[in-house]
Structure 1
Amino acid sequence: MRGLPILLQKEFREAWRSWKFLWIPLVFAILGMSDPLTNYYMMDILHAVGNLPEGFDIQLPEFVPADLLQASIGQFQMIGLLVLLASFIGSISKERANGTATLLYVRSISFSAYFISKFLVISAIGFVSAVAGFAASVYYTTVLYGNFEIGTLLACFVTYFIWLLLVIAVILMMSATFNTMIAATGAFIVIFIGQFLTILWDFLPWSLPSNGVLLIRDMMYMQDYWWSMFMTVMFTIISIAIGIVMMKKNTSMVKI
């Protein structure tokens, strides 16, 4: 892949200059700490808000650590993925539209290097973000509710990060294939609407985030888990391959 080291430097430099290595992990960290803190201090929050009837009280369920981590992952799945989608859906399409890609295409670089450089840098941001989100959630959950088993916790994190790699591959594939608006719509449908397919088939990639929590609960049917993992890796590779092909096919759309 010609030009990959140079393109990696370019992408890392742009990510640092736009503070994406800071503010996106910060969003995930806030999402990770929100559920443990909110649930633990819910009654204090309600009383602080005021205007409650005299003697008002509610019985909150007894949470275990896995419940809070599952809630945090649910936040990552909604707000966190929307942040990633909004931040990177124009990674290729915008460069194609504003003419920046012209400066790259005329140089001695390969389309695969161009795509992979973006995939690696965004994956690095996704990794830092996932670490920040999990660390915040696990820290406050451990302090307020109880401990996790390290082995299953790491397995849960790795499982979720592999899911993030698929999300990033789909975002870049859509960006390489369509203009930014259509790419955003297509990526949203694939990433979010596709989660409803898990109602019919448990082995699909969209099951991975919940499968990680099931590992912690020791309730995971491992055959479904490994099938879901295999499908996720295959879908990621296919998305990368399609993205590279479509990037090459759409060179005529580059603004000069």
Structure 2
Amino acid sequence: MRQFNTLLKKEFLDCSRSFKLIWIPLVFILLGVSDPLTNYYMSDILAAVGNMPEGFEMMFPELKPADLLAASTGQFQLIGLIILVAVFVGSISRERQNGTATLLYVRPISATAIYMSKWVMASVVGMLSALLGYAGSMYYISILYGTVDLTDFIAMLCTYFVWIIFVMALTVALSAAFQTSIALAVAIFALPIGLVIDSIIGGFWHSTPWKLAAYGVGFVAETINMSYYWKTLSITLILTGIFVVVGIFATKQNRQLTKV
């Protein structure tokens, strides 16, 4: 536990010095507030742009708070997810490649402490970013469109936290198992592209981790199927545990790949 705490402090300092604790949450905040503001002022934006045919009138659908939260979630799932993966996919492999991991491996530090410290810090950054992103989104939604039930909003937020933890477990495990370039390619295919594939042909199944965020939005939209939700949540937690075990094993096995 002492090793883990020490390494976690190291990861926190690294994230602070590289400003990851600032710019990643800021990106999520911008993503969160963009949809409520853009949709609300779209007619004014089009009028300001001009060059519209005379008599042209565009009808916009009436959006509910749940629709805007779903749109913000979509932004997080695409742009936000790619940023998180790109930032943390080299957390272990990059240290092996540039030789800084030698400072850890020459000491009697367990692979568990190394992997867990990086996974926990990546998850904290991801959850903090999602929290602030949803807070920014909900602030403007409540002003411009109305409010949602607080309990449902918290349930949606906690569900997305589980998704972030799953994503970071997989990302750091890939970093432990492969070189950074390979890990990034696999992570991008498995996560953002996997979400796109699931949205296209996912109607044939109902319980995969890629559906978890959508089920979370179902709380505020009051469209959630709790049977599918609990199955999806269980599968996600089980896979997260598997990725953690694989990541720890890969961290231990790939010590010899560290450059001196």
Q: Could you state the TM-score of these two structures normalised by the residue count of structure 1?
A: 0.97
Displacement of 1:48 in angstroms is 1.2
More divergent stretch after superposition (196-205 vs 94-103):
196-205
Q: Which residue of 2 aligns with 1:218?
A: 222
Take 1:240 and 1:39, find their aligned partners in 2: how far apart are those partners?
40
Q: Percent identity?
A: 48
Displacement of 1:65 in angstroms is 0.4
Q: Partner amino acid for 1:199?
A: G
Name which of 242, 245, 249 aligns with 1:238. 242
Alpha-carbon displacement from aligned partner over 1:96-151 (angstroms, at most 9, x marks no partner): 00001111011121100000001111111112101111001111111000111000
Q: Which residue of 2 aligns with 1:74?
A: 74
Q: Which residue of 2 aligns with 1:40?
A: 40
Alpha-carbon displacement from aligned partner over 1:31-60 (angstroms, at most 9, x marks no partner): 000000000000111111121222322000
Q: Partner amino acid for 1:40?
A: Y
Q: Secondary structure at the match of 2:101?
A: helix
Q: Partner amino acid for 2:242?
A: I
More divergent stretch after superposition (173-182 vs 46-55):
46-55
Q: Which residue of 1 aligns with 2:254?
A: 250
Take 1:111 and 1:92, find their aligned partners in 2: how far apart are those partners?
11
Q: Partner amino acid for 1:243?
A: G
Take 2:205 and 2:96, find their aligned partners in 1: how far apart are those partners?
37
Q: Secondary structure at the match of 1:72?
A: helix
Task: Figure out how many residues of one structure are paired with residues of the other and give that number.
Answer: 256
Take 2:91 and 2:178, find their aligned partners in 1: how far apart are those partners?
12
- Please show how residues 1-256 of structure 1 align to structure 2 within 5 Å: 1=1, 3-195=3-195, 196-197=197-198, 198-256=202-260
Take 1:45 and 1:55, find their aligned partners in 2: how far apart are those partners?
17
Alpha-carbon displacement from aligned partner over 1:1-48 (angstroms, at most 9, x marks no partner): 561111011100000001111100000000000000000000111111
Q: Secondary structure at the match of 1:174?
A: helix
Take 2:134 and 2:245, find their aligned partners in 1: how far apart are those partners?
30
- Assess if the C-alpha contact under 8 Å between 2:82 and 2:192 holds in 1: no
- Assess if the C-alpha contact under 8 Å between 2:96 and 2:259 holds in 1: yes
* Unpaired segments ≥5 residues, structure 1: none
More divergent stretch after superposition (63-72 vs 44-53):
44-53
Take 2:194 and 2:52, find their aligned partners in 1: how far apart are those partners?
41
- Assess if the C-alpha contact under 8 Å between 2:27 and 2:80 holds in 1: yes
Take 1:202 and 1:28, find their aligned partners in 2: how far apart are those partners?
28
Displacement of 1:192 in angstroms is 2.2
Displacement of 1:247 in angstroms is 1.1
Q: Secondary structure at the match of 1:3?
A: helix
Q: Partner amino acid for 1:185?
A: A
Displacement of 1:166 in angstroms is 0.5
Superposition CA RMSD, Å: 1.0
More divergent stretch after superposition (85-94 vs 67-76):
85-94
Q: Which runs of 4+ in 1 moved over 4 A?
A: none
- Assess if the C-alpha contact under 8 Å between 1:2 and 1:108 holds in 2: no
Q: Secondary structure at the match of 1:52?
A: coil
Displacement of 1:175 in angstroms is 0.6
Q: Partner amino acid for 1:244?
A: I
Q: Secondary structure at the match of 2:90?
A: coil
- Assess if the C-alpha contact under 8 Å between 1:2 and 1:113 holds in 2: no
- Assess if the C-alpha contact under 8 Å between 1:4 and 1:113 holds in 2: yes
Displacement of 1:193 in angstroms is 3.0
Take 2:239 and 2:204, find their aligned partners in 1: how far apart are those partners?
18
Q: Partner amino acid for 1:241?
A: V
Q: Partner amino acid for 1:85?
A: V
Q: Secondary structure at the match of 1:57?
A: coil
Take 2:123 and 2:193, find their aligned partners in 1: how far apart are those partners?
22
- Assess if the C-alpha contact under 8 Å between 1:29 and 1:133 holds in 2: yes
